[in-house]
A and B are shown apart, each in its own frame.
Chain A
Amino acid sequence: MAGGRPALTPLVWGYIALVLAFLYVPLIPPILFSFETGGGAGALRWYAQIWRNPILTSSMLTTLKIGIAVALAATVLGLASAMAIRELRAPRLVLLLMLLPVFIPGVSMGLATAFFFRQLGLAPSLLTIAIVQVLWALPFATLIVLTAMSSFDPVYLEAAYLSGANRRRAFLDVELPLIWPGISGAATFSLILSFNETVRTAIVQGPYNTVQTYIWSTYKQIGLSPTLYALMSLLILLTLTLVAASLLAGARRAASLRAE
């Protein structure tokens, strides 16, 4: 079955390249517009302006705090749900439940949780924002940990039990190190999803701003500006850096495994 008609293959690659170009071209304009035209020493003027705006620096700090909280919480929950899917009696149902947040539109999720917190008397806070973002990241974290677990042979656990390890020791000493790439991948993915979330956050944000909600509310009130483009460029670069870092870590790990 391999190969197919060879004449067709370059055509398909061309088609894939075209679709990818369609997806990547929109990353260029924000970066172009974030520089001051005329060039020279003032080219980074709008980036410098970001640091002088106290609302923006505090929203950056908020973004960072929430991002770290979401990455930690979603990863631990993702690990727990992957283990639950493996060990509980109704794996399909647990999996469907964990995947549910992906299928719920952002507006509905934001609105439902905002109502819910209001009825509970919980004022909007970093915690409520983090809860909504953890739910959004959870399906992806679960799938990534599941993928890592599927390449882990449970025979190693049996071996650990036979050597006298209890469940906790066997998990910590044998399984966890082997599925670690999945754990760190889930954390990185959750961090990136948190940095890039707008719609859900904008409904539950209250008086707090993340960089994304700042961009969105400023756009709706006064429109786009070079400062907003500078912020978008920073977010794009940050996301690309995180993806590259996690790829490099994976490649280094694979290389060290080969060396052993």
Chain B
Amino acid sequence: MRGAALRWAFLALPIAVVAVFLLAPLGLMVWMSFWERAGLLVRPAFTLAAYYDFFQGARLSVLERSLWVSLEATAISLLIAYPIAYFLAFKARPSATRAVLLLFTVPFLINYIIRTFAWTYLLGRTGPVNGALTALGITQGPVDWLLYSDVSVLVGLITSYMPFMIFPLWMSLAGIDRRLLQASWILGAPPAATFWKITLPLSLPGVFAAVVFGFVGCFGESAVPIIMGGVGYQLMGNTITSTLDVLNFPLAAAMSSIVVAAMLALLGLWYLAFDIRAFLGKIVRWRA
């Protein structure tokens, strides 16, 4: 009997860890966004002051800019990643697929902040990109809009989050039953019709997972706008950290709650609309 109890405890351990150290803190954060400030401290209360502060103030433009930048970065990342995932799932040999997926894992593993620092040099006035543009005669001299602009922030966000988006896309595409595609071919559908009517709809769980990961990551990103945006460039993420620095905890909690609420809404939609079993069918053996 003791063995069985130990076994249950082992299986329940990770669930308990996530519940205690992630769900409880997130709940506390949402609760704290309704607290009131008392000097440098906070006091339990129920006030909408922090949200009022956020939606009335200049920070609303931060939310708007964050939404736009995250949408753009996610859309561009998806356009870059989907063809690669499609090619790896359907056209490349398995050994080549493994090698390419590994090559996309390595940049994801190396801290994106270090990679983003490098872009400030690459895109800077004296950097190689401007050097090449000038040498090739495309521009008259170094251009300024490459760095500390929306362009550089997009470059930073895309290179940070795109590598990982390949994986859910590839997983859902590789999991598609090939017989469906053959059936479509036998029934005389041209390749484009097969793609739009069969492949794309069946890969939507992966597309949606990649979009949630990319969008929420960009939406809450705090380091990239600081490094690539230049002085005064504010997205939700770095606005939250600067609010923390001035010890306005309820406001920081309120902004963070907005980000997490967006994430939970998207994730809930994903969970309800798609069957993760189909999506992860390749790596999980589900009980009947």
CB of B256 within 8 A of CB of A96, answer no
Interface string of B1-21 (1 = CB under 8 A from A): 001000100111111011101
Instruction: Report the minimum CB–CB distance from A83 to chain B (whole Å).
Output: 6
A94-114 interface with B by 8 A CB criterion: 94-98, 100-109, 111-113
Binding site for A on B (CB under 8 A): 3, 7, 10-15, 17-19, 21-22, 24-26, 28-29, 32, 80, 83-84, 87, 90-91, 100, 102-107, 109-111, 113-119, 121-122, 159, 163, 178, 181-182, 185, 212-213, 216-217, 219-223, 226-227, 237, 240-241, 244, 249, 252-253, 256, 259-260, 263, 267, 271, 276-277, 280, 282-287
Counting CB contacts under 8 A, is A207 at the interface? no
Q: How far is the CA of A239 from the CA of B112 in the complex (A)?
A: 13
If A29-B118, A83-B11, A84-B15 touch, whether A150 touches B222 (CB-CB below 8 Å) is no
Q: How far is the CA of A227 from the CA of B110 in the complex (A)?
A: 18
Contacts of B118 in A (CB 8 A): 25-30
Contacts of B287 in A (CB 8 A): 86-87, 91
Counting CB contacts under 8 A, is A88 at the interface? yes
Counting CB contacts under 8 A, is A51 at the interface? no
Closest residue on chain A to residue B29 by CB atoms = A112
CB of A88 within 8 A of CB of B91, answer no
CB of B241 within 8 A of CB of A243, answer no
Q: Could you show 19 A-B contacts with beta carbons less than 8 Å apart?
A: A20-B100, A27-B110, A29-B118, A86-B284, A97-B15, A101-B22, A105-B263, A107-B220, A107-B241, A107-B256, A108-B260, A111-B29, A115-B32, A115-B253, A119-B28, A150-B285, A192-B109, A236-B114, A243-B105
CB of A103 within 8 A of CB of B29, answer no
Q: How far is the CA of A88 from the CA of B7 in the complex (A)?
A: 12
Q: Is the interface of A mostly helix, strand, loop or mixed?
A: helix
Closest residue on chain B to residue A77 by CB atoms = B14
Contacts of B114 in A (CB 8 A): 26, 30, 215, 232, 235-236
CB of B14 within 8 A of CB of A199, answer no
CB of A198 within 8 A of CB of B111, answer yes
Interface string of A156-195 (1 = CB under 8 A from B): 0000000000111000000000000000000001001100
CB of A239 within 8 A of CB of B109, answer yes
Q: How far is the CA of A82 from the CA of B269 in the complex (A)?
A: 24
CB of A92 within 8 A of CB of B276, answer yes
Q: How far is the CA of A253 from the CA of B240 in the complex (A)?
A: 47
Contacts of A22 in B (CB 8 A): 159
If A103-B212, A108-B260 touch, whether A87 touches B11 (CB-CB below 8 Å) is yes
Interface string of A12-41 (1 = CB under 8 A from B): 100110011011111111100100000000
Q: How far is the CA of A84 from the CA of B11 in the complex (A)?
A: 5
Contacts of A232 in B (CB 8 A): 114, 117
CB of A25 within 8 A of CB of B109, answer no
Q: How far is the CA of A238 from the CA of B266 in the complex (A)?
A: 36
Contacts of B113 in A (CB 8 A): 198-199, 212, 215-216
Interface string of A64-98 (1 = CB under 8 A from B): 00000000000001101101111110011011111
Partner of A97, one of B13, B18, B122: B18
